Structures are given as structure tokens and as C-alpha cells.
Amino acid sequence: MESVVLQGLLSSLAPTSIIAVLVGVFVGIAVGIVPGIGAGVGLSLLLPIIFNVPPLIGLMLLLALWASDGYGASISSILLNVPGGAGAVATCFDGHPMAQQGKAGEAIGISMASSMLAGILGTFVLMLAAPPLAKLAVKIGPAEYTIMAILGMTLIGGMAGKNRIKGLVSAIIGLMVSFIGYDLTTGFVRYNFGSAYLFDGIEFELVLIGFFAIGELMQAGEEGGTVAEFGKMTGTVMGGFKEALKRPMSILRSSLVGVVMGVLPGIGITISSMAAYEVEKKFSKTPEKFGTGMVEGIIGPEAANNSCQPAALIPTLTLGIPAGSTSAVFLGALIMYGLTPGMDLFTNKAPLVWAMMWGIIVASIAYVLVGLIFANWFAKLTILPIEYLVPCTLVTCFIGAFVTTNSFYDLVVAFLFGLIGYVMAVLKYPPAPAILGVVLGPILEKNYFRALLLSDGSHRIFFNGTLAICLWCILALILFAPLLFKLFKNRKEAKLLRNL
Amino acid sequence: MRKHIWQKVLAISLIVILSLTLVGCGDNSAKNIEDYPTKSITVMVGFNPGGGVDTAVRGIQPYLQKYIGKTVLVENKPGNQGLIAMNYVGEQKPDGYTLIATTNAMSLNAMIFPESYKLKAAPEEALIPIYSWVNGDGNGIFVSQESAIKTWDDLVAKAQTEEGIKIAGSGIGSTDHITAITLTKIYGGKWTFVPMDSAGEVASAVLGGQVDAGSSSPGAASLDPSRVNMLAVTLKERAEKWPDAPTFIELEKPELYILFVIGLMAPAGTPPEIIAKLEEAMDQARNDQAFIDWAENAKQPIGKEGWRAETYKSYLTDYQSNMKALIPDIQEALKAAQGGQ
């Protein structure tokens, strides 16, 4: 056993592996930065290229790309308030205010440190506990997923910011968008205006590009100036690094959220990063300051979305069940190399599996080293005039939209959502709840109807089993605890007053 | 101030777009049929990268390239269970430069979901079969090793009880769904189809004990013989991976002979000379030892031999006429599901 672990480490440190990791890191950061393309697209673009490369090198390349995508995505969130990928929506909340204060470098530093540590932590979980975790993950059925999706809805409150009503409206817009297209349970096509293009619904990336990139950016473009308020920069990347390291508990908590949600097929980085943000807010002594550039507000989502990746590999490698679309592409690569997932992989191909797992850790360190070289350059973008920044980003976004499915319609849809997003930005409706709605809508709908199919239409299925009951209790706690807490506090204060 | 900024934004956008357009320009002139191919050939895949069809195409692509003598590009245009790509390729010039990798289920989908099918020609006539290089896989019904159901007869017996069978499969109108509908028709009893997003989710629901059985390609990577018990397969002969699972032909239900066939097709109207050239190159590619080795290693269900245009065409014609009889049942099942909500 030990020799295999060591052998894996050595082959992950061989010169060819390191080169593969470096190439993966560069591509990963690049696809991460560009909104609308993420690790999934990056992996599928590289698949045909790695076809003739030995498995170890090819897989290391893919894993390095995948690991560094999350870090790249946070750069766009921080600098431009445009998430570079689904997992970086929540990074905007505190990352961008920090950049506006001229501390873009510091924010990038925080993101790098927490991404790296969470990636390493997640990989250790993958190394030590993959088979039992995968077994647990498949035990969770449609009923539990339904309750989890309802739990996810409670995140809207946190995403909404100051105006709850506007946040809710935005979430409802997102949910409505998610209903477009073919209903998986019945095959019924809804709201497609007779167009075959809308049969599959609207790609989540296009909504992201529309609402954030086009809507918010156009508004920023109108205002002009620079991102950093006084055109000056304070705060350094290394400073951010240290700030993050000072908060080990935050990193640990958020990594845990990422691992738990990463293992579950179908949950994914969007929800896990938003959930980690909320968890950090709940644990904070100054929750009201979230959204103004809190360090924990960056650590939360960044740690969660990076620990999600190794966790997503758990069901992929042990059961051949991909946890999301990116792991599905990775599974395709494994099959292409003739590596059949399952316990067989861990026994017969142990050296390769261990080298892959070490590879994620090597990649995590590599993107930080690469990131350190470029971070200060990236941060300087915030003192560039916005009128130059906006058009370049917009064009990049449209290319991103096109690359995803090679379809002209995607550009039209992205543009239409951009218009809606622009109106929303002008009227100060926050876009993040809409994104949450788009992601949660199908999870809720599909699993609700699947659960009813399983129970022959009885709603009792939602209260069967310990896990379901636990989830309802958590939901009750989230909804009513603040209320009870307030009541309790008021009583205490009243008592104190009486005693005076 | 506002107007001034917008002018700048527009100008810079235009510059960036134009410079990128220049990069994308190339030689697009087509020549005589005898010279075919004079430029790169694009094979459209109607499914996501990394999926079954995509992997099969990427596997043969280097060899097709070798024998046809020009670059072969693989492009993914996923959506609508492959129909987006089918609609697109059906509208292209029939010059042999835009081809499509299809599955036998695609023309069926065009019939089940007529609103998503946009070509003028009937689905079975819009594309010309060239060659099929993957035809060894079909469908299989499986349960978890932990399940009380051990044999096909156990499963059929349970379907007759009041509880019935909950069977998971990927997608509405898919081969999995059709299998479930056919099962109800042949065996009677209660088979509730629970649609999932992918073969992986189907395996997960079976392993987690949420459903009684699952329907998937016996060759799927998510089916591990140490965890899963295959009860019956829709193939002609037993699958190597599952020596104990009988075929439906053995069970005397030949209606359930369903294959999963991947092949290359061209838009209707492509000159026969070009089809013949492609067919020949595909045959050489399919029989290249390096391709066979790869397919074996990657556990691709390529089957005993590749199908030339004629064999491929006659299989498709048979398949489509068999399935046509089922379409009213499928559409009724869909309607029932929609009315039930």
C-alpha cells in the first residue's frame, strides 16, 4: 500500500507530469477567467488532443486544468464583478467590493490561498475515504434531493442583499427560466415558443453571461471611471495570503461544505459555493458587514468550489457515476484510455490512481505559483479605464457563449438575457438569486416528480427515513432560529431593564 | 459623457470582433467529385463530449483521417437527443464535407417528438447511411447485487404484484424508455418508468435501492459486475461482460432484440461516389489493428464486424418499421404521464 502511494507521488513529480500540470494550469486559469467557459468546456476541448498521449500525462493535464479553473474564475469575479464560472458567483459579493477599495491584489491572494488549501484537503478526503463516501452518496434518493433543493431556496435570503423583495423577484425569474424546455419526467415541452432550439431549455452559462457579464458590465460601462475607486491600489497578494491563513477554521468549514456537496451527484459547485458563503455569514460575528469586502466572504465560496472538484471524483472513480457535467467529461477520458471505474481501478491501476490524486495537489500548488507571477498584473486591470475593459470582456463573453455549444442561437439568447440583465441592473435587482433559481429549479422539479413516481403519488415519501427528517429539522432551524433568537434576546433585554 | 463612452465601447468591440474574424477565414472552395476530398471533413456529434457517441467518434477519427487522406474534424452540437445536430446536418450542402455520427434512436426521436424535427424530408430519408462501426451493444435490465430479485423470472413475478416494478432509465423517449414500454406490453403487470438524466444516475438509483431495477447499455462504465446483477440483455448473443445474463431471444421474446448502433451518415443528395469513398475509408479504419486494439482496451462495444452501407441501411429500415408500431404506445405513455400531473 505505502509503496503504491509513494510510487504515485513520484510519478506525479516526474518532469513530463510537471509539464502536463503546467500546461493544464495555464489553460485552466484561462478558461476560468473567461465567463461562460469553464472546466467542462476546457476538458472537452482537450479531450481530442490528449487522445494520443499516455494516460498518466493526459489525465494529469485534465485534472490540473479542472483544479485551476476555479481559481481563474474567481479572478473575473473579483476584478469585474462578472463570475468566470458557476462556482464563482458568490465570490463576487465580497471579492468585488474589495477590488473597488483598491485591494484587488489582496482579494486574489485570499482566493489563491483558500483555493489551494481546500483543493489539498478535498484530495486527502478522496485519498482516504472514497469508497465509503461513494456508497453513502448513492443512498440519497429523490426525496432527500427535493428537501435539499428546498433548503437551497433559503439561500436566496442571503443572496438578495438589502432588498428582500427584489431578491425574491430575481429568484423567481431564474426559476421561470429553468422551466423552459423539455420536462424530463413527462417529455412535455414547455415555453419553447415552438422553437426546437429551446427544447433542452436554456444553458445555465448563457444566463450567467447575460445577467452578469452583459447586464452588470453595461451598467458599469455607462458609469465609466475605473474599478478601483480612486484609481489607486493598496493591499498585496501576499497580504491576502496571510489574511486567509489567519482563518483556518473558515477554510476548514467551507472545504467541508464543498466536499459534502461535491460528492452528491447533481448538486455541484454553484450551490456549494453559495452555501459556504451563507455558512461563513452565519458563523461570523459581524454578518452585517458581508458584501462590503469581508475576508471570510471570499474564503467561503473559494474554498468550497475547490474542494468540490476532488470530491466530485469520488463517485466518478469508484462507481463510474459522474457527479456533474465536468466529471462526465472526465469519465469519458477514463473510458477512452480503457480505465474502467470501480474498485478494480483502485486495485489493478493503483499507481495511476495515486499519481492522479497527487497530481491534483501538485496542480493546486502549481496554480498558486503561476498565479503569484500574474496576480499583480491582473490586479492592475482595476486601475484601467472601464471603457476599455468592458468591450474586451463583452466580446470574450460572446465567444464563450458560442464555444459552449457551437450554436448561433446561443449568442442570441445570451444577448436577450443581457438586455433583461441590464434592465435588472438599472432597477437594482440582484442577479445572483436568479442564477440560484436557474440551478435549483430543475433539481427541485425532477426530484419531486421522481419521488412521487417511486411512492405511487404519496407525499409520505418525503418524511421517510432519518436523513429526510434531519434535513427537515435543519430547514426548520434555518427558518425559525433567527426569530426565536430575537425573541429570546428581547426577553433578556426586557428582564435587564426591569432589574434596573 | 455617456454618448462619448458608448462610441468608444462600440468602436473597440468592432475592432476586436473584426480581428478575430480575420483569423477565422480560410479556404472554402469545393472542387470536383473525383478529387474528393480536397479539404477537411467535419463530423458532427449530437451529444456531449465524453459521452458514448463522442468517444466512439473520437476513437475512429484518427484512422478515418489516415485512410481518407484529409483532416477529419469532430464537432459537438449537443441537444434535443441529437436532433439539433440532425436538423443542422440535414440542411448542409450534400458535398460530403459535413457528416453526422448518429445512433439508431435518433430517427425514432424525430418521430416521437415531431415538433423538434425541422427537416422537410421524412426522418428516415433525410440522411444516407455510410457505415456503422459500433453495433455490439444494446440494452440490459439489471438489479443491485443486494436486491432480493435474483433472476429475470423474479423480476417478472414482482411486476405482477400490486407494488409492481420501478425501473429507472435515462430520459423520456430513449431506448431505455422504449424497452420499459415494450416490457409492459409483453409481460403485463406494472412497470413504472422513472426517468433519470444519465446512465450514471440510473446506476446510482439502483445501487442506492431507490428503484427495483435499471435499464442501461450492458457495456456502460457505471455497471460494475461486482455490484450489479444483469438479468437479461436485448442483444443477439450474450454479452462477454455478463455471461450469466440471457438474451431476450433465449427468453423467447424476440421483440426485445434492440441494438445500440452508432454510424456515420451524410445529408440526402450526397453523390454515391462520395458515399462509396467514405464507406471504403471507414471500412479500412474499422479494420485497422490499432483501432481494434483501442476499442478492446476502451471496452467499446464495436461488435464482430463493421456494417457497410447496405447492411447498415437494412438494419435501420427493419428497426424503424419495428419501432413505428410502438410509437402510438410511447406517445400514449407520455400523454398518461403528462395527464397524471
Q: Give residue-wise pLDDT tens across range A106-137.
A: 999 999 999 999 999 999 999 999 888 888 88
Indicate yes or no: CB of B50 within 8 angstroms of CB of A333. Answer: yes
H-helix or E-strand spanning residue B143: strand B140-144
Is A366 within 8 Å of A175 (Cβ atoms)? no
pLDDT digits (tens, 9 = 90+) for B295-325: 988 888 898 899 999 999 999 998 888 888 8
CB pairs under 8 A between A and B: 203
A475-485 mean pLDDT: 85
- Rounded-to-integer distance, Cα A187 and Cα B329, Å: 14
Examine the pLDDT at B31 and tell me if it is beyond 80: no
- The DSSP bridge pattern shows strands B191-196 and B165-170 to be parallel
Mean pLDDT, all residues of chain B: 87
> How many CB atoms are located within 10 Å of the residue B85 CB?
25
Residue A438: predicted pLDDT: 92
Q: Of residues A378 and B147, which shows the higher confidence score?
A: B147
Residue B341: predicted pLDDT: 43
Is A29 within 8 Å of A367 (Cβ atoms)? yes
Is B281 within 8 Å of B104 (Cβ atoms)? no
Q: How many helices (H) and strands (E) does chain A have?
A: 22, 2
Single-letter amino acid code for the residue at A363: A
CA of B247, closest CA in chain A: separation in Å?
Answer: 24
Selecting from B13, B192, B224 the residue whose C-beta is nearest the C-beta of A320 gives B224
pLDDT digits (tens, 9 = 90+) for B254-288: 888 888 899 999 999 999 999 999 999 999 999 99
What one-character DSSP code corresponds to residue A385?
A: B
Residue B339: predicted pLDDT: 59
Going by pLDDT thresholds of 50, 70 and 90, the confidence category of residue B22 is: low
pLDDT digits (tens, 9 = 90+) for A59-70: 999 999 999 998
- Rounded-to-integer distance, Cα B240 and Cα B244, Å: 9
Examine the pLDDT at B68 and tell me if it is beyond 90: yes
- Among chain A residues, CA nearest to B50: A332
Selecting from B55, B297, B334 the residue whose C-beta is nearest the C-beta of A186 gives B334
Closest CA to B217 of B319, B312, B105, B304: B105
Indicate yes or no: CB of B338 within 8 angstroms of CB of A197. Answer: no
Q: Of residues A1 and B42, which shows the higher confidence score?
A: B42
Indicate yes or no: CB of A188 within 8 angstroms of CB of B55. Answer: no
Residue A405: predicted pLDDT: 64
Task: Say how far residue B326 (Cα) sits from the centre of its chain.
Answer: 19
Give the best residue of B204, B296, B329 to mutate against chain A (max A CB count within 10 A): B204
Residue B2: predicted pLDDT: 54
Residues 6+ apart with CB under 8 A from B325: none
CA of B34, closest CA in chain A: separation in Å?
Answer: 30
pLDDT digits (tens, 9 = 90+) for A437-469: 999 998 999 999 999 999 988 999 999 889 999
Residue B202, C-alpha cell as written in the block: 440510473
- Rounded-to-integer distance, Cα B29 and Cα B36, Å: 12
Residue A233: predicted pLDDT: 73
pLDDT digits (tens, 9 = 90+) for A178-233: 999 877 777 777 888 877 778 778 888 888 888 888 887 887 777 777 887 766 77
Mean pLDDT, all residues of chain A: 88
Single-letter amino acid code for the residue at A33: I
Beta bridge partners of A25: none
Going by pLDDT thresholds of 50, 70 and 90, the confidence category of residue A411 is: confident
- Rounded-to-integer distance, Cα B88 and Cα B46, Å: 10
- A165-169, A316-320, A434-438: the lowest-pLDDT one: A316-320
Beta bridge partners of B102: B263
Q: What is the largest CA-CA distance in chain A?
A: 81
Instruction: List, as one string, the DSSP characters of A67-114.
Output: HHHHHHHHHHHHHHS--SSGGGTTHHHHHHHHHHTT-HHHHHHHHHHH
Examine the pLDDT at B28 and tell me if it is beyond 50: no
Sheet holding B228-233, edge to edge: B191-196, B165-170, B213-216, B140-144, B228-233
Closest CA to A340 of B145, B220, B290: B220
Residue B4: predicted pLDDT: 65
- Rounded-to-integer distance, Cα B193 and Cα B180, Å: 7
Indicate yes or no: CB of B77 within 8 angstroms of CB of A405. Answer: yes
**For residues B48, B49, B55 and B58, what is the CA-based torsion angle, rounded to 10 degrees?**
120
Indicate yes or no: CB of A221 within 8 angstroms of CB of B5. Answer: yes
Q: What is the ipTM of this complex?
A: 0.83
B17–A contact, CB cutoff 8 A: yes
Q: Of residues A449 and A404, which shows the higher confidence score?
A: A449
Indicate yes or no: CB of B208 within 8 angstroms of CB of A200. Answer: no
What one-character DSSP code corresponds to residue A264?
A: S
Is A20 within 8 Å of A57 (Cβ atoms)? yes
Residue B25: predicted pLDDT: 52
- Residue bearing cell 493546486: A364
Q: How many helices (H) and strands (E) does chain B have?
A: 11, 11
Residue A221: predicted pLDDT: 77
- Among chain B residues, CA nearest to A392: B13
- The DSSP bridge pattern shows strands B98-103 and B41-45 to be parallel
- A74-88, A199-213, B13-27: the lowest-pLDDT one: B13-27
Residue A9: predicted pLDDT: 92
Residues 6+ apart with CB under 8 A from A395: B13, B16, B17, B20
What one-character DSSP code corresponds to residue A466?
A: H
H-state helical runs in A179-236: 204-208, 217-223
Residue B26: predicted pLDDT: 46
Count CA atoms within 13 Å of residue A339 on its CB side.
28
- Among chain A residues, CA nearest to B88: A407
Selecting from A139, A140, A406 the residue whose C-beta is nearest the C-beta of B77 gives A406
Chain A residues near residue B10 by CB distance under 8 angstroms: 391
- A435-449, A465-479, B109-123: the lowest-pLDDT one: B109-123
Indicate yes or no: CB of A222 within 8 angstroms of CB of B5. Answer: yes
Give the best residue of A66, A183, A321, A329 to mutate against chain B (max B CB count within 10 A): A321
Give the best residue of A331, A345, A393 to mutate against chain B (max B CB count within 10 A): A331
Residue A338, C-alpha cell as written in the block: 480503457
Chain B residues near residue A185 by CB distance under 8 angstroms: 172, 195, 337, 341
Examine the pLDDT at B29 and tell me if it is beyond 50: no
Indicate yes or no: CB of A405 within 8 angstroms of CB of B113. Answer: no
Beta bridge partners of B132: B263, B307
Indicate yes or no: CB of A334 within 8 angstroms of CB of B51. Answer: no
Listed by number, the residues of chain B in 119-138 with a beta carbon closer than 8 Å to a beta carbon of chain A are none
A12-37 mean pLDDT: 91
H-helix or E-strand spanning residue B216: strand B213-216
Helices A466-499 and A142-153 pack at an angle, to 10 degrees, of 30
Residue B27: predicted pLDDT: 46
Selecting from B49, B197, B299 the residue whose C-beta is nearest the C-beta of A184 gives B197
Selecting from B118, B166, B172 the residue whose C-beta is nearest the C-beta of A186 gives B172
Helix (H, G, I), strand (E, B) or coil at A351: helix
All structural domains of chain B, each given as residue ranges with its CATH number in brackets, are 40-135+261-322 (3.40.190.150), 138-258+330-337 (3.40.190.10)
Beta bridge partners of A189: A182
Selecting from A44, A186, A321 the residue whose C-beta is nearest the C-beta of B49 gives A44
Is B213 within 8 Å of B189 (Cβ atoms)? no
Residue A231: predicted pLDDT: 67
Selecting from A200, A338, A394 the residue whose C-beta is nearest the C-beta of B298 gives A338
CA of A64, closest CA in chain B: separation in Å?
Answer: 18
- Among chain A residues, CA nearest to B49: A44
Q: What is the largest CA-CA distance in chain B?
A: 80
Residue A39, C-alpha cell as written in the block: 472546466
Instruction: List, as one string, the DSSP characters of A480-498.
Output: HHHHHHHHHHHHHHHHHHH
Residue A404: predicted pLDDT: 65
H-state helical runs in B151-288: 152-160, 175-187, 199-207, 272-286
Examine the pLDDT at A385 and tell me if it is beyond 90: no
- Rounded-to-integer distance, Cα B261 and Cα A159, Å: 47
Examine the pLDDT at B3 and tell me if it is beyond 60: no
Residues 6+ apart with CB under 8 A from A436: A152, A155, A156, A159, A171, A174, A270, A271, A274
- Rounded-to-integer distance, Cα B192 and Cα A494, Å: 60
Indicate yes or no: CB of B192 within 8 angstroms of CB of A266. Answer: no
Chain A residues near residue B53 by CB distance under 8 angstroms: none
Examine the pLDDT at A316 and tell me if it is beyond 80: yes
Q: What percent of chain A has pLDDT over 90?
A: 47
> How many CB atoms are located within 10 Å of the residue B197 CB?
16
Is B217 within 8 Å of B138 (Cβ atoms)? yes
**Per-residue CA distances from A292 to A171, A288, A324, A375 (Å):** 22, 9, 32, 22
Going by pLDDT thresholds of 50, 70 and 90, the confidence category of residue A260 is: very high
